[in-house]
Amino acid sequence: MGSTSVHPTAVVEPGARLGVGVAIGAYAYVGPDATLGDGCVLHHHACVEGFTTLGPACEVFPFAVIGGRTQDLKARPGKPGLRVGARNVFREYVSIHLGTQEGEWTTLGDDNTLLAYAHIAHDCEVGSHLVMSSHSALGGHVHVGDHVNIGWNAGVHQFCRIGDHAMVAACSKLVQDVPPFVIADGNPAESKMVNRVGLSRNGFADAEIEDAKALHRLFYRDGLNATQALEKAAALPLASGRVGKAWLGFVRESKRGLA
């Protein structure tokens, strides 16, 4: 992996921990409580600060700020944190904030790509394989599953949840939860259709995609409220498959209602 390289104009504060093969560019900054895993790359003017841990092979582009202090006005002095997995890419001007209070965390999984100016606020829990387009933002305490796509300039209200393999379309304003496997669009965003292309690309069988379509019809097209649709869906054979289990489990845990 090679030795660690730090440009002479970069600032790496005493206490920062750097893994093997880390590369830090000109005028970059690493705070005293930050940890960079093996093979991380900070381009020029990139910043990793706060009580932040980046997993191996993350890449931070110019002017991104990873581990900035929360903007939540409830914050008090302490040491909240940010945990980031492996192979995440943060493009120009991306910002990710720490948790709000001591012992609280913002977390990201592996293989996420955040495009320029994307923002993840305090206490969010983000899975793996997220693609988050430019100028989009997650409010505080948002939960995002795996293999999610968030389009350009989309805004997600605090405490919302987005299920696995879902998509939030460009310029959407999301104020309720998006079930797994669904595309949501609009202002406010509504669940429009099943994310067939995304499911196919991720290895879902045609029969599983049909299960997702059947659930979408049941919850959004048959004139039932969520409780009625949940009861009816639970009695169907598809409820025991991986699509049914994921969908019904998500709905049961929803607190903001379904978009």
Give me the DSSP letters along 65-111.
Answer: EEEEPP--TT--SS--EEEE-SS-EE-TT-EEE--SSTT-EEEE-SS
Of 82, 73, 99, 102, give the one whose Cα is nearest residue 33. 82
Question: How buried is 183 (Cβ within 10 angstroms: 0-12 exposed, 13-18 middle, 19+ buried)?
Answer: buried
Around Cβ 32, how many Cβ atoms within 10 Å?
Answer: 13
The amino acid that residue 250 corresponds to is F
Q: Does residue 122 have an active-site annotation?
A: yes
In the numeric block, the tokens 């795996």 are attached to 146
Catalytic residue among 122, 143, 147, 216: 122
Q: Does residue 38 have an active-site annotation?
A: no
Catalytic residue among 33, 72, 110, 123: 123
Q: Does residue 143 have an active-site annotation?
A: no
H-helix or E-strand spanning residue 207: helix 206-220
Tokens linked to 90: 């943060």
Of 99, 94, 107, 102, give the one whose Cα is nearest residue 69. 99
In the numeric block, the tokens 């700020």 are attached to 65
Catalytic residue among 68, 140, 155, 198: 140
Report how far residue 222's alpha carbon sits from residue 219's, in angstroms, rounded to the nearest whole number.
Answer: 7
SS3 254: coil
Catalytic center residues: 122-123, 140
